[in-house]
């Protein structure tokens, strides 16, 4: 696997995981958060970070093989729902 490809996937995976952990904290344990008046702003910002991370992971998977080489044809998206 290409080290740059692996680093990119690791970066966006970490951002996704951080966003999920933070949102989980806000949704389930918001009592412990000091600045309640700005919690919705924080939720919106972390939701955007989560969306960005998931989108970037999908783009990497769609256009690149695990070894970092460009796919001959982009991987087709699977529509769920």
Q: Cα dihedral sign for 14, 12, 36, 27?
A: negative
Average pLDDT, the chain: 89
Ramachandran category for residue 68: left, alpha or beta (phi over 0 → left; psi -120 to 50 → alpha):
left
Place of tokens 């690149």: 64
pLDDT digits (tens, 9 = 90+) for 41-60: 999 999 999 999 999 999 99
């Amino acid at each position: 696997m290409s080290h740059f490809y692996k680093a990119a996937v690791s970066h966006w995976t970490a951002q996704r995981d951080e966003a999920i952990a933070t949102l989980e904290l806000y949704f389930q344990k918001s009592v412990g958060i000091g600045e309640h008046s700005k919690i919705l702003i924080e939720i919106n910002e972390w939701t955007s970070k989560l969306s960005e991370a998931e989108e970037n992971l999908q783009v990497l998977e769609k256009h690149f093989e695990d070894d970092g080489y460009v796919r001959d044809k982009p991987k087709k998206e699977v529509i769920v729902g």
